[in-house]
Amino acid sequence: MTRILIGANTVETKAEVAENWGTPQLIEDAVRHGEGVLAKDGPLVVETGKHTGRSAKDKFIVQDAETADTIWWGKTNVPMTPDHFAALKADFFAHLAQRPRLYRQQLFGGSQPEHRVAVQVVTEFAWHSQFIRTLLCRPTAAELAAFAAEYSIIDLPSFRADPAKHGTRTETVVAVNFAEKLILIGGTQYAGEMKKSVFGILNYLLPVDGVMPMHCSANIGPKGDTAVFFGLSGTGKTTLSADASRTLIGDDEHGWSDTAVFNFEGGCYAKMIRLSPEAEPEIFATTKRFGTVLENVVIDPVTRELDFDDNSLAENSRGSYPIDYIPNTSDHNMGPVPKTVIMLTADAYGVLPPIAKLTPDQAMYHFLSGYTARVAGTEIGVTEPEATFSTCFGAPFMPRHPSVYGNLLKERIAKGGVQCWLVNTGWTGGMATMDGIKRMPIKATRALLNAALDGSLNDAEFRKDPNFGFMVPVAVPGIDSALLDPREAWADKAAYDRTAQVLVGQFIDNFAQFADHVDEGVRQAAPQAAVAA
């Protein structure tokens, strides 16, 4: 029997535990046990079954003396009783003891040594072990010799929770116990649950030390100027930060300390659906590397060719790869404190301009709002986009009240004289559901971003948006001016005005929950419906 120390618990298992295996061993084992297949050019291709994304409604936080007054309880942070967690843990450990194979990785969440957390991850899939050792920060040999785990994650896709016994919603569970420093993940093969659990840990711990945790990508310009890119899934965080002319710090999760922006991770987790070598050459190149893991990407069983346009397995197909698979990455996954903050949104209403300059108050307003919009998809009878407000551009991963993170951001913006921009990567000329309406051209988005990052956009002429009050450039070299004014891009101006007022109303309604937690300047940064002539 093998003993595994998990916090204050010792679990005996009949399995031999693969300790800190590297990429070749893990991928060999994954193929040997039928977890995935190798594609033509080397990546491992796996399927995650019915869970092709996070199970947000199946995540719980244990409500006890540690968390009762520190967690922002509600739809996002749902409580679990200590008794239910105790029953779940007992059954989890019993299930763990019977697994035929187990893999353990000892890793760090966070690249800045004084602000990182030591995490051990035990899982039953070799490819999950490969995923997490790619996505987190790997210790040096010396650090590994002295490694002492502060938190433990147990990841058992074959486990099935019992709602009556464990207080869960379904057979799937992600249970977080901050007092015991233990996270239990069961009933899902989606590997992203593990990395987001570490993000949640850091989002809980770092604000106490005055460090701003962020759901963002980050890169560094030639002059040492750091930019961070906030945005929800599908808005372009990974794509826009993977710029060959700038040094990549990371694509998803970072901390902003007094001295640095530091990556929480050692790898990237990019969307693969409709990936093309023309639009995203750096990311596309990773799909031809051994060590990359592709989730739910369709593969020809004979030729082993990949089809990134086929969404029959998932719209949320993903690829995980080491950060150094992207050219020009930071040696230490860190950079100077930011000069620029970019907030990305994919506005499917076609209302927002492609770029707008924000004051610090407006930046906090839009950060707390965390707006994007999605096309309703295949639902019968749904003909309009769907607004999504995810506070701090990452509500599912924010255990504390959003005002904690919002005030940290506002303080750091003011302290560093940071320039803030709102960038719309969504649709222009109409709502996304209208015939012939297309997304913002990525070349135009990149050109506007480059102008914002190099400072040349500050010299442009600006107008005040009548609905949102932020400043919008009137003309930018190389950019069609019609693109800069979304109202002019609509054939039916009255329809634009009606749609804009709908979106403004949704912003105002959503922000009501934060109004008592912010100062008057932030409340005044709210949008106003345009007055009809």
Q: Please tell me the distance from the alpha carbon of residue 130 to that of residue 72, in angstroms, as a whole number.
A: 33
First to last CA, the chain: 79
The CA–CA distances, whole Å, from 40 to 36, 43, 454 equal 13, 8, 40
Q: How many CB atoms lie within 10 A of CB 49?
A: 12
Residues 6+ apart with CB under 8 A from 363: 341, 343, 409, 410, 413, 420
Q: Of the candidates 230, 470, 210, which has an alpha carbon nearest to the alpha carbon of residue 340?
A: 230
Q: How many CA atoms lie within 13 A of 406 on its CB side?
A: 27
| Helix count and strand count (H, E) for the chain | 15, 32
Under DSSP, is residue 426 helix (H, G, I), strand (E, B) or coil?
coil
Q: How many CB atoms lie within 10 A of CB 400?
A: 18
Residues 6+ apart with CB under 8 A from 203: 213, 397, 398, 399, 400, 405
Q: Please tell me the distance from the alpha carbon of residue 314 to that of residue 238, in angstroms, as a whole number.
A: 19
Give the phi and the psi of residue 289 in degrees, each rounded to 5.
-120, 140
Q: Please tell me the distance from the alpha carbon of residue 231 to that of residue 216, in angstroms, as a whole number.
A: 6
**Any idea which residues carry the catalytic annotation?**
54, 196, 215, 233, 237-238, 252, 318
For residue 365, the surrounding DSSP H or E stretch is helix 360-369
Residues 6+ apart with CB under 8 A from 200: 176, 397, 399
Tally of residues, the chain: 533
Burial (CB < 10 A; 0-12, 13-18, 19+), residue 266, is: buried
Q: Please tell me the distance from the alpha carbon of residue 319 to that of residue 273, in angstroms, as a whole number.
A: 10
The CA–CA distances, whole Å, from 61 to 79, 83, 93, 123 equal 5, 13, 19, 21
For residue 44, the surrounding DSSP H or E stretch is strand 44-46
Instruction: Using DSSP bridges, classify how beta strands 462-464 and 471-473 pair: parallel, antiparallel or unpaired.
Output: antiparallel
Handedness of CA 496, 233, 516, 76 (dihedral sign): positive
- Contact status, residue 431 vs residue 350, Cβ threshold 8 Å: yes
